[in-house]
Amino acid sequence: MVQLKTLAVAALEAAAVLAAPSPSPQDYNSQLAGRGNTPSKRPNHRVFPFHPGKLFPPSPPRQKTCYVKSKGKGRDDSENVMDAIKKCNNGGHVVFEKGTTYTVGKALDLTFLKNIDLDIQGTIQFTNDTDYWQAHSFKHTFQNATTFFQLGGSDVNVYGGGTLDGNGQAWYDLYAKDIYILRPILFGTIGLHGGSISDLNLRYSPQWYNLVANSSDVVFSNIDIRGGSQSKNPAKNTDGWDTYRSERIVIQDSVVDNGDDCVSFKPNSTNIVVQNLNCNGSHGISVGSLGQYQGEVDIVKDIYVYNITMTNASDGARIKVWPGLSSALSGDLQGGGGLGSVSNITYDTMTVGNVDYAIEITQCYGQKNLTLCNQFPSNLTIKDVTLKNFKGTTSKKYDPLVGYLVCSSPTVCGDIRLENIDVRSPSGTNTFSCGNIPGMDKQVNCTVAAGTGGSTSAPP
């Protein structure tokens, strides 16, 4: 199981190393400091109540302060942002002034950061030049992901109570015309090893709000994610967080109002804690999708999800795996046949309201033909999964069903435990659609899913 510590041990220890206070402003940039632009004190967010089990690296006080100047009137401030960060790298505190909007029209490579605090008190807004960003945003290796900037290095703290605005409306409207455009992710945590990101408002991302890739020992706290379309074209694929090739990540104490996964654990996400989230309008907290790319090995393990409120969503807890043959969910999302495993996953304490499925497990993601999916079972195994302490009411969409628990073969899916599941449909039932999961009918009320062999016995 995930190595979890109590508040009295790990949470307080983690808080101590992440919350070292920032010093008062130095003489550097004294003119700006004289206008009353006080640097924020680095916030003290405890990792509570669960913890990945290893102390996060210490973050010492900063020794100098730099202020980012804004040109105003929508002119590009990218050069000023980069200048201030370079001046205060290796031991400084960078302040984005309160009440000021900074316009960023250039892709910023910030993977060189070390021992620095970014104090975002104002607003950073990315331009809506969709041609520029498609050509110059940072390309990543999974699902055509791109980012406005990539923030990485070691010992980096981002906070301040300000806002990052992705100017997403132009992207929502463009995507409605062309699903193959490359839409940037608002916040790219790429190759960050040790740090915290907290007390920020994220608004109107063109695609996912956060990508955490190739990173470790990062804590996200008190993040407010919101923003939808103002036209008939919806904001698509606006995941709250996607983790990828990362370990020892904590996401906690946040609000997500979006149009896709609240949090998604993408390939090779390990030892991650997600706790105390309020998610609305999402597709749930999801393992996957996994097994999309042939020849790739996707591993997701040691995940603990605790104390989630999920409303007006398609799913509460979700595990989604591609089948063993090529399938197409949509024109810009297709795949199947990949390898790997899902193991040691716990969803503990979730309250659902108007959610289509409280729990969904599928190894036929992207494949509507269950008979065909079962002929080509997933190459990716699911085992050692616990879902417990769920309560609430589902939507009318699948009434009388409250969940969907269907694997492509009992040989690649098992040891799935459901405990204390008190979820009802609007008509008062608590029935799950089940298939190819050994022993599931002994844990919940099952009806056999069409095209499957049911769930009554283990394989020989």
- Per the structure block, which two tokens stand in for 316? 């509460």
Give 58: exposed, middle or buried? Use CB within 10 Å, 0-12, 13-18, 19+. exposed
Single-letter code of the amino acid located at 26: Q
Contact 238, 207 (CB under 8 A): yes
Rounded-to-integer distance, Cα 458 and Cα 441, Å? 11
Q: Are 340 and 380 in contact (CB under 8 A)?
A: yes
Counting Cα atoms < 13 Å in the Cβ hemisphere of 213 gives 21
What DSSP line would sit under 385-450, residue for residue? Answer: EEEEEEEEEE-STTTTEEEEEE-S-GGGB--EEEEEEEEE-TTS--EEEEES-TTGGGTSEEEEPT
What CA–CA distance (Å, rounded) separates 296 from 293?
6
The residue type of 43 is: P
Question: Annotated catalytic, 193?
Answer: no
Say which amino acid occupies 141. Answer: T
Q: Measure the CA–CA gap between 30 and 13, rounded to whole angstroms.
A: 35
Distances (CA, A) of 405 to 328, 389, 438: 21, 17, 11
Residues 74 and 69: their CA atoms lie apart, in Å, by: 13
Amino acid at 231: S
* Active-site option among 45, 51, 140, 283: 283
Is residue 274 a contact partner of residue 302, using CB atoms and an 8 Å limit? no
How far apart are the C-alpha atoms of 146 and 256, rounded to whole Å?
21
The CB-side HSE value for 281 (13 A sphere, CA atoms) comes to 16
Q: How far apart are CA 286 and CA 385, in angstroms?
A: 13
Helices (H), 21-100: 30-34, 78-88
CB atoms within 10 A of CB 400: 15
Long-range contacts of 21-25 (CB under 8 A, 24+ apart): 21/61, 22/61, 22/62, 22/93, 22/117, 22/119, 23/61, 23/62, 23/63, 23/65, 23/93, 25/65
Q: Which two tokens stand for residue 315?
A: 């799913």
The catalytic residue positions are 283
